[in-house]
A and B are shown apart, each in its own frame.
Chain A
Amino acid sequence: MKYILDVQNLSKNFLLHILNDKKIEALDKLSFRLMKGEIIGLMGKSGSGKSTLMKCIYRTYLPTSGAMVYHSEKYGKIDLVQASDFQIIALRKSEITYCSQFLSVIPRVSAVDVVSETLVAKGASWEYARGVSKEFLSQLGLAEELWDAYPSTFSGGEQQRINVARAIISKPGFLLIDEPTASLDQKTKDVVIDKILDLKNSGTSILCISHDEYAIKKMADRVIELKNGQIVAEPITAE
């Protein structure tokens, strides 16, 4: 099987100049591979470095050392540690999607348009994108009267669903997703899990942070556990 991401000795320190150059060591020489079409579940306590790892891969954080060789369908092999801002922007537009725990969107844009946007950005028409988004939101159980409302006033669970829908709908080649099932009820959780599995079956490679053992058991092919910025043990194969 081909791998899509090869992380080698990845380290990340934060140097806080405003606190007398205090150094925080967040990741310590991590190495692992993500195969094409695989789901790796990232587990570990709060503060173990899960989100830092994900943000380093997405380059929201600048890695301190190491390499992350990504196999782009469009551009070939790229070390995400060395890639230029311009290359990262191009990859984010075409292949790599990051879905954080928190919805952060422009105010006064309706829920349907927030979700549709990612499809439109990939070339779909608004009309088509809105149709797909509505169907998606209805499957995720978001009440129809909320579709035209602004998500900033939504509950945590409703925002979560918008966020997940937004990330999955455009079918990225590589998805980084942080706690997709937190604050969801069991029924919606199962829908989200099914959606993520559909995505995987269509070839998407996925790195998923979760504290939810039920979700990880259902989705992940392997689990990587982090502790103090290091991988605890060899990746465990989930049942």
Chain B
Amino acid sequence: MDNTNWLLKVEGLTKIYGEPDANTLNRTGSLFNSNQCPETGAIVACNNINFSLYPGEVLGIVGESGSGKSTIVKMLYFDFEPTSGSACLSVFKDGERNIFEETNQKKRFLRNHKMGMVYQNPRDGLNFRFTSGGNIAEKLLMAGNFNVGSIRERASSLLASTEVSIARMDETPAAFSGGMQQRVQISKAIANNPPLLFLDEVTTGLDVSVQAKVLDMIRKLQQELGIAMIVVSHDLSVIRMLTDRTLVMKDGHIVEQGLTDQILQDPQNTYTQLLVSSLL
């Protein structure tokens, strides 16, 4: 029960857009109710983010639009480059290297072998010119699996586990409903059995019955495969159902973190109290 065996450790992660000056970081945040520096106009998307994620753990990041929650996972997945800060993965070079300082080749390796990402918009995670099976094959090929037979077998078993009809494996995701596209995206993201999965607003925009199905699927995958996950959502019900611990973000800062039930029932921060009392 020691807390030294983290899977991911993030320290001082910061992302600034524009031209900051020396005081930009001190002039933004929840105290100022803004993430924009009044002097320089620079936008501080994330300011000094620190947290650890443990193997098999599900961590939630909650906050309003523009609070910086998606930026965190997109930096960790190398979609955006951070301004400063570090992230270490215990399953990569014994956790001793800052993954942001690695070569592009190593970053691709990490994306293909150690991480999976599910975006809010399936178009960001899937190639709509490929078939659904082809999308999964793409991820497997990138990870160095070149056996066509085994790729096809793996693709069908993944689609089956996410309840996408195997008969439709050779259609492009463009012909699918939003919920199905999202499930194909999840299949693709977990194709290489990554130890770490990022889920960015995965159920936003889906109707409630499809949302329930996607949530149930994510939970089953977590229980069966023990994948550690970071779940980004502005929806507190999604956070409540999926996560053990939660970070609350506002204006680029973590304003509160704790056990998810504690955050929802005994919030300490003013903003979190407001957020929780706004719950329908």
Contacts and interface: CB of A to CB of B under 8 A. Distances in A.
Contact of B212 (A14, A15, A90, A108): A108
Given A17-B273, A18-B273, A86 B216 contact: no
Contacts of B223: 117, 120-121
Contact of B258 (A55, A75, A85, A106): A85
Contact of A60 (B3, B259, B270): B259
Contact of A109 (B216, B244, B273): B216
A108 B262 contact: no
A61 B213 contact: no
B44 to A, nearest CB: 24
Task: Tell me the interface secondary structure of chain B in the complex.
Answer: helix
Nearest to A61: B266
A75 B1 contact: yes
Interface residues of B, number: 29
Given A106-B219, A108-B213, A18 B277 contact: yes
B26 interface: no
Contacts of A84: 3
B1 A86 contact: yes
B261 interface: yes
A60 B261 contact: yes
B262 A62 contact: yes
B268 interface: yes
Contacts, number: 62
A16 interface: yes
Interface string A62-101: 1000000000001100000000111111100000000000
B274 interface: yes
A3 to B, nearest CB: 21
B274 A18 contact: yes
A86 B241 contact: no
Interface in A22-70: 55, 59-62
Interface in B247-274: 257-259, 261-262, 265-266, 268-270, 273-274
B274 A107 contact: no
A89 B212 contact: no
A59 B216 contact: no
Interface string B60-102: 0000000000000000000000000000000000000000000
Interface in A95-123: 104, 106-109, 117, 120-121
B239 to A, nearest CB: 13
A130 B185 CA distance: 30
B130 interface: no
A17 B270 CA distance: 5
A207 B3 CA distance: 29
A55 B266 CA distance: 10
Contacts of A61: 262, 265-266
B270 A107 contact: no
Contacts of A59: 259, 262
B245 A89 contact: yes
Nearest to B209: A108
Contacts of A108: 209, 212-213, 216
B30 to A, nearest CB: 12
Contacts of B259: 59-60, 85, 88-89
B215 interface: yes
B54 interface: yes
Contacts of B213: 108
Nearest to A120: B223
A106 B273 CA distance: 24
Nearest to B54: A86
A117 B223 CA distance: 9
Most B-side CB within 10 Å, residue of A61, A90, A104, A106: A106
A75 B3 CA distance: 13
A106 B266 contact: no
B270 A55 contact: no
Nearest to A56: B266
A106 B216 contact: yes
Contacts of B219: 106
B241 A62 contact: no
A89 B216 contact: no
B255 to A, nearest CB: 11
B212 A106 contact: yes
Contact of A62 (B209, B240, B245, B266): B266
B54 A60 contact: no
13 contacts: A18-B270, A62-B266, A62-B268, A86-B3, A86-B54, A90-B1, A104-B240, A106-B215, A106-B216, A106-B241, A108-B209, A108-B212, A121-B223
Given A17-B270, A55-B265, 4 more contacts: A60-B262, A62-B262, A87-B1, A90-B1
Q: Which 5 A-B pairs have the closest CB atoms?
A: A17-B270, A107-B212, A108-B212, A61-B266, A86-B3
